[in-house]
Chain A
Amino acid sequence: MRWQTDPLLQVEHLTMRFGGLVAIDDLSFTAGRGDITALIGPNGAGKTTVFNCITGFYKPTEGRLAFARTGIAAPAGVDALTNTGARFAYEPSGDIYLLERMPDFEISAQARVARTFQNIRLFAGMTVLENLVVAQHNPLMQASGWTVMGLLGIGGYARRESEAVDKAKSWLDSIGLLERADDPAGDLPYGDQRRLEIIRAMCTDPVLLCLDEPAAGLNPRETAMLNELLLTIRDEHNTSLLLIEHDMAVVMQISDHVVVIDYGVKISDGTPEFVRNDPKVIAAYLGVSDEEVEQVESEIGADGGAR
């Protein structure tokens, strides 16, 4: 199990409270390097909140989010880093980032965790190509000498920009949207907007890509194209995926690891096969009451799955 032997992201005791509402309650799980990890659960379970904590849009009330960008995050190394109060450490065994200490844009720029949003957030008034070039802001900013050299027209900015365009082109080509490069992003059909948002996130060269319900609102054909894209990303671009998904077909087909949460608490964690047969999951999804779950559990003599 890669999420046990080579964890990329370790979520430990994550708690998020909004006033009196406990959206996430002491949640711990790991996501393996090279895996597609699915985070599932009924509406309002707290999945998006977990994403917002990982990507720095919310500051967790409690908990540690250790991200091993490269190498293996040795527990001793993570603990040492936690005690120093620093945001990251370049250990000989690998780079470790404590995401809960970093602001959102640094998580993307330095730890290399990219994300998409449940309600698509494209730059609707900019063209498809511009969206992908904006995503490469940081390297381009550096190439333009923080604007000064670019403004004076010296340095290699023009060359770097055409490289950025080439990268955008190859991504567009891979999802068959090259023809629409010069159209406003807001003018694309819904399914294309979803995939554009994903490749825009990919243009930041992420190590971990977090997708919030990428298949929502897609028709079966679009869902198939999405699956293909996600597998390509995992297999050919060395990017691990963490995805929130409602569509069980997508989850079961492509994920390597599934974590189920309900009311902010983890109720199951394992391979798709394992989760599918977990009575707690079945109960949560079918909306069975807690007593009945207990009843079911006692009947089958299980405690909801090994953790």
Chain B
Amino acid sequence: MSAAVSEQKDDQAAGRMAKALRESAFAGLVTAGLSFPILALRAEPDIRNQLQLQPRWSWLVTAVLLVASARFLALMLDTVRARALAAAGLLLCAFGFGSAWFSPLATASLIGGTILAGLICIGAGFFVDRSHIRKSGPGLLARFAASPAGQTLTSSGAWVGIGMLVAFPLVMLGWLGPAGSLKWINNYGVQILIFVMLGWGLNIVVGLAGLLDLGYVAFYAVGAYSYALLATTFGLSFWICLPLAGILAAFWGIMLGFPVLRLRGDYLALVTLAFGEIIYLVLINWVDLTNGEAGISSIPRVTFFGVTFYDEKGGFSDLFGLPYSPIYRTIFLFYLILFLALLTNFATLRLRRLPIGRAWEALREDEIACRSLGINTVNTKLTAFALGAMFGGFAGSFFAVRQGFVSPNSFTFIESATILSIVVLGGMGSQIGVALAAVVMIGGTELLRELDFLKQLFGQGFDPTQYRMLIFGLAMVVMMIFRPRGFISTRSPSIFLKERKAVSSEFVGQGSG
């Protein structure tokens, strides 16, 4: 009896293997057919400047093998986790073989090591897949987050996280010294935090109120130019300009809000997109005010409550008896943006528990029902636009005080797209998800700069940062397949009687406006 069952199982496994082999061979063939003109042949000018076709069979073989083995693994593995592991393993193997083939510098141990690690990864994928017990209901992570232990952990985890952020620049400074830590505090710390803040600001509009805004960078620009102009023209200090910039941005948020109140979905997205472009064009063309493309330079830099960070008497280093270094300004900027970002976060978390925040979410769920309950949806939408814009404006004036220079080129559509991707990737409405997404997207961009070793593989002309958009595109596609509602797809209720149960994304609306 049991022998018969195991025999049957073997049969099934063999059948599956055969099917997978067949399909992967087919996928390889398709790849070969499709990529033959692109990969296998390369036209190069010879000495007489005539194009000669050069065969590159190795490229074609690599592509075919990669696709075929990816297809094979995908067919043999059932769970997402196993597939992810196998994909990582495959990439490692490809890297190992690739460096063996292409790179003259690769050592045998490097090649062997990566290939071995890749094979182990693939093996682990199979192991995970086989030992996997199918379960229904929410994922492990979601169930843990909703459990009491998970909740205390996440709430104390937030404080631990904040503590780590506060310690981050000091630890970096102590570890790598002023010169070495600058990159980490500035490029990673400050840059990521700016986008965390922008993501949180846009999250009010898109994530909570469900209003798709493709022109958010406009408010960032309004904030930056507000500070730049107020500080250079009237000599106002940063701390006075900051609220003014917020108010001005909020004003423009309302200005945008009025015409788009009656628009929904695609139309709203289009008009907000156009609004972002209008602000950009105004910045370029209103030369008298904004100095056009040339931008505004020599904006007063940030001061430590009146104490400058220059190498001068009475400067920060002098005052505290430290050797002069630009790092202190960067550290102060880090704390400043950390403060602003946390302010945005706490305000949003509080707003979510106030009637206005609940009305935003109700608006996202069903606008008509809102109106039937006596909610003034016009005011509700306008406050969402205004508050979202205000935080964008704060971030903008921080940007200006950090750079000391603003020009329209910092406020192009690609910035809006990045911020929106952060919100969507993070999981609309989730604060922690947005922060995670900002770390992944902005940190990822910065990390690409670190991948210099790829030059060994692809030649000196290879610049990984140029592939940023390609990689983001791919990552987005992959995300939308596996986690269509973002990293954190569950919604946490704003109030509860007995226990705070996470609301599954299948019920949560995405807004139609």
Contacts and interface: CB of A to CB of B under 8 A. Distances in A.
Interface of A: 55, 57, 104-106, 108-109, 114-117, 121-127, 129-130, 133-135, 137-138, 140-141, 144, 147, 150-151, 157, 161, 165, 169, 178, 181-187, 200-201, 204
Contacts of B508: 124-125
Contacts of B497: 129, 165, 169, 178, 181-182
Given A134-B355, A178-B497, 20 more contacts: A105-B372, A108-B371, A114-B372, A116-B372, A121-B366, A123-B362, A123-B365, A125-B361, A127-B495, A127-B496, A130-B494, A134-B359, A134-B370, A137-B373, A147-B356, A151-B350, A181-B496, A182-B500, A185-B507, A186-B507
Contacts of B503: 125-127, 184
Given A182-B498, A182-B501, A125 B371 contact: no
Given A105-B376, A151-B350, A182 B371 contact: no
A178 B497 CA distance: 9
Given A121-B366, A204-B373, A182 B354 contact: no
B355 A137 contact: yes
Given A126-B362, A147-B383, A182-B496, A104 B491 contact: no
Given A165-B495, A169-B497, A121 B368 contact: yes
B347 interface: yes
A138 B365 contact: no
Contacts of A187: 507
A195 to B, nearest CB: 16
A100 to B, nearest CB: 16
B499 interface: yes
Contacts of A55: 372
B354 A157 contact: yes
Contacts of B366: 121-124
A157 B507 CA distance: 29
A209 B495 CA distance: 27
Contact of A108 (B359, B372, B493, B495): B372
Contact of B369 (A122, A125, A130, A183): A122
B504 interface: yes
3 tightest Cβ-Cβ pairs between the two chains A and B: A125-B508, A109-B374, A108-B374
B351 interface: yes
A182 B499 CA distance: 7
Contacts of A117: 368-369, 372
Interface of B: 347, 350-351, 354-356, 358-359, 361-362, 365-366, 368-377, 383, 491, 493-501, 503-504, 506-509
B351 A134 contact: no
Contact of A125 (B374, B377, B507): B507
A147 B365 contact: no
A141 B356 contact: yes
A28 to B, nearest CB: 25
B359 to A, nearest CB: 6
Nearest to B361: A126
Contacts of A204: 373-374
Contacts of A185: 507
B365 A125 contact: yes
Contacts of A165: 495, 497
A116 B366 CA distance: 13
Contacts of A201: 372-373
Contacts of B371: 57, 104-105, 108
Contact of B355 (A121, A141, A183): A141
A116 B368 CA distance: 11
A108 B374 CA distance: 5
Contact of A137 (B375, B498, B501, B507): B375
A70 to B, nearest CB: 18
Nearest to B498: A182
B374 A124 contact: no
Contacts of A105: 370-377
Nearest to B369: A121
Nearest to A120: B369
Contact of B354 (A109, A147, A181): A147
15 contacts: A117-B368, A125-B507, A126-B361, A127-B503, A129-B495, A129-B496, A130-B358, A134-B358, A134-B359, A138-B375, A140-B355, A147-B351, A151-B351, A157-B354, A181-B497
A176 B374 CA distance: 26
A204 B354 CA distance: 17
A183 B494 CA distance: 12
A124 B493 contact: no
Nearest to B350: A151
A200 B362 CA distance: 13
A200 B509 contact: no
B348 to A, nearest CB: 11
A227 to B, nearest CB: 23
Given A150-B354, A183-B501, A134 B507 contact: no
A117 B371 CA distance: 12
Nearest to A135: B373
A165 B493 CA distance: 14
A133 B504 contact: no
Nearest to B380: A137
B495 A130 contact: yes
Contacts of B494: 130
B493 A130 contact: yes
A123 B208 CA distance: 13
Contacts of B347: 151
A134 to B, nearest CB: 5
Contacts of A150: 350, 354-355
